[in-house]
A and B are shown apart, each in its own frame.
Chain A
């Protein structure tokens, strides 16, 4: 009997794609818990519906494509997409919004391009943007954070939340309201100071509105843990948060009535931290070299600020990420690292005949 023929190297590090995905899931836990505490059962219902839909869709498409279902479902990539989508969607949004977004994510944005590793766009963000454009009313209604609920009012329980999500019952008054980014968008003519003073959203919070700032801190912690575990490098997040900070400093305008808000406000509101550590770090759809990822992150940070400050949507992470995805292959062409033994970097589009590049 002959011995097995295997190409070198013969040994492999104990790191697997499944494990990376699992770690990402674990790292979203702090953020998910804070969101659930602040905004009630709606968050968990979103996660549940989205995960279920994503897994079922993935399994069905894999079956249609004659791919081994167990192996591909076992890589947890569909669950990661589902969780990121569930966290991004507003709590207590009707179930069909979540289902639509989830199906779009997996079917259109991922599997139709060839499945894991072949999708040019971030699947969760594609799903999110589709429902944001299609159902603007449902998607812009946010639940009021727990500490700001009127006296005697609390978030609906599990049963009532279920009724709202699945049966379309109308939630009682007072549990929905504007988000801090909404406020900044629609408070033209007020100084930043006045916005902070006049709105209860900022009563117990000095930065970016109660509820949101804590959720962002939680995502930051989860993200730093992933960074420490070397799941991704610092380049993407630093690029994005850096350019977001830089832009908000440039246009801070000392808190005048035309100021779009302080750097800290922008860093800790909306989906800033979720985006910086969980969305733009999706390696499949991002630029691929370290330098490329720095530029890619910075581009997204820039776009986030531009859309937040001067666009018509209050938050912009999803749009900015998709535009960044478009730019990623282009960035890749110009950000090859300098190879050992070559005096210069090279363009990826260089021909063999261009000997001097």
Chain B
């Protein structure tokens, strides 16, 4: 038996998994339209490679990777591209992002694709490219592009591959059912990944011990391989990447580090399955297993769902009752987010559609004051002090928040789950994280703007002084010529002596003309003041209706104008003193 480490904290919410496991994985009738989002979970948008009206086949790539964290998109069925435009998708922000809409033709005809049954002989970089071109992203919820994870640069090496099959969120059974029915394919997928990583020393599958059937299936198929199936105690959030690494290896992922920094790679088990399909069968990621559950649906079941199928279509299939439904959740009840409408497509990260009834999740009562009871600190898997974080979040004390390690919060929701005062703690933390990140970005932008302004000022001054010097020397020359004309003396020779004299004269002219300088400075001051007023006006305009970027930019301009005025005033004062 492998030694397991225990994470601090954790909670045991009712698991509610049995209801969706009475039936095998179902197939969904082909929907009339498919909406395929182009942005990845990291908001990098793939570049559409089809145009409206194009005919596409199932599995055909319709958008290419651009930027490191974008993910390739494939047509989930055959049909015609009917629109490319922003649509609302299943995303916590509820914002719309560019999507390709495909109207299906009902033929569901596959494109001819290349399969790699002899993947063992392919170089790791090439394997990673195949995985990237198949549009595979983490299917546990975060949606990180898998190929980016697997592409290890020369200096790093992977000694442990961890496959995350914990599925610790209540209600969700998609991974469990996938393992029960397709364990053999999953094990092949692990082998493909092993090749891509040049054979790590250990391969561990972490799975919560509340899935005995799945554990058995995995163990049977792992016989004779180096893969070790490790049942871990059921406790939310043991499926968090950091938590699972600790449970299985006793190592902590340093703050802000990635698993690869300590020689590990963590992949969700559904992702492993998708990699197998992509490499061995040549099928890109166009479908996933999604759990449709909750008391507002008559049927609770797992389905193999084409990416882009609308939630509406799935709910109808399961006898969804709008009246009974209190809220609609994508993902689990601990970390999932709510949908405001059913007219959104299933994405690569949609593990579960949870339509709960009013009895199941009644509307929560308004929050009461925090009494610092400390229950939250007892359940925090990261050993934070949520009660203190809450206090400082309310006070917007960014320094204290960071001293209390706000950014090590994984937003698992255990603290809010146990809070007797029903305070939406995680919401406060998310807000504060956003505020701090915005403040940081603004600070960087402002300091950059200041640098730019300062170097410009230096440059201008240099040009000014050069001009001044030229003017003086020109004046000197013309004065000399004038003198010569009037007095009839021969022109001054340009001996070394004369040059020195001329220079001295220049310096003198500069020194003895404070009036001129004053007048010049006064003109500059007026101009600067005008610019300052203009900048203020513009800033006021964008403060009312402008993006943060614009505001920052105008703030920087204003700051610059202010400095110019101050500087000129100072110089003027100096001259007046003289």
Contact = CB atoms under 8 A, between A and B. Distances in A.
Asked if A and B bind, the verdict is: yes
Interface of A: 2-13, 15-17, 19-20, 71, 75, 77, 115-118, 230-233, 283-284, 286, 288-290, 293, 332, 336-343, 346-352
Interface of B: 7-8, 11, 13, 94, 170, 242, 246, 252-257, 325-329, 333-342, 354, 356, 361, 363-364, 366, 368-375, 377-378, 381-385, 387-388, 399-400, 402-405, 408, 411, 413-414, 416-422, 424, 426-427, 430
B47 to A, nearest CB: 32
A339 B383 contact: yes
Nearest to A21: B371
Contact of A8 (B334, B368, B382): B334
A281 to B, nearest CB: 10
A93 B340 CA distance: 61
Contacts of B366: 71
Q: Which of A10, A71, A233, A341 has the most CB of B within 10 A?
A: A10
Contacts of A75: 368
Contacts of A289: 374, 377, 385
B371 A12 contact: no
Contacts of B420: 15-17, 19-20
Contact of A233 (B339, B354, B372, B378): B378
Contacts of A17: 368, 371, 373, 420-421
A288 B424 contact: no
B385 A337 contact: yes
Given A11-B333, A283-B374, 7 more contacts: A12-B416, A116-B371, A117-B372, A284-B371, A340-B252, A348-B404, A350-B403
A19 B170 CA distance: 25
A9 B384 contact: no
Given A19-B420, A288-B385, A3 B334 contact: no
Chain A facing B: main interface SS: loop
Contact of A342 (B341, B400, B408, B424): B408
Contacts of B414: 9
A199 B35 CA distance: 89
Contacts of B333: 8-11
A20 B377 contact: no
Contacts of A117: 369-372, 421
A117 B387 CA distance: 11
A284 B170 CA distance: 32
Q: Which of B333, B366, B368, B400 has the most CB of A within 10 A?
A: B368
Contacts of A6: 327, 338, 364
B255 A336 contact: no
Nearest to B375: A15
Nearest to B416: A9
A6 B366 CA distance: 13
Contacts of B363: 4
Nearest to B415: A9
A2 to B, nearest CB: 4
Given A4-B326, A340-B242, A13 B372 contact: no
B340 A5 contact: yes
A16 B366 CA distance: 12
Nearest to B377: A289
A289 B374 CA distance: 7
B295 to A, nearest CB: 13
23 contacts: A3-B338, A3-B339, A3-B341, A4-B327, A6-B338, A7-B427, A10-B338, A13-B417, A16-B422, A17-B371, A71-B368, A75-B368, A117-B371, A288-B385, A290-B374, A290-B377, A337-B383, A340-B242, A340-B253, A341-B252, A342-B254, A342-B408, A352-B399
Nearest to B412: A9
Q: Which of A17, A116, A230, A332 has the most CB of B within 10 A?
A: A17
Contacts of B341: 2-3
A298 to B, nearest CB: 17
A230 B400 CA distance: 29
Q: Which of B242, B255, B342 has the most CB of A within 10 A?
A: B255
Contacts of A5: 94, 338, 340
Contacts of B337: 7-8
B336 A8 contact: yes
B372 A10 contact: no
A116 B369 contact: yes
A118 B369 CA distance: 8
A342 to B, nearest CB: 6
B310 to A, nearest CB: 15
A339 B372 contact: no
Nearest to B339: A3
Contacts of B254: 341-343
Q: Which of A115, A116, A117 has the most CB of B within 10 A?
A: A117
A231 B374 CA distance: 9
Given A15-B420, A348-B403, A340 B325 contact: no
Given A3-B340, A19-B420, A9 B369 contact: no
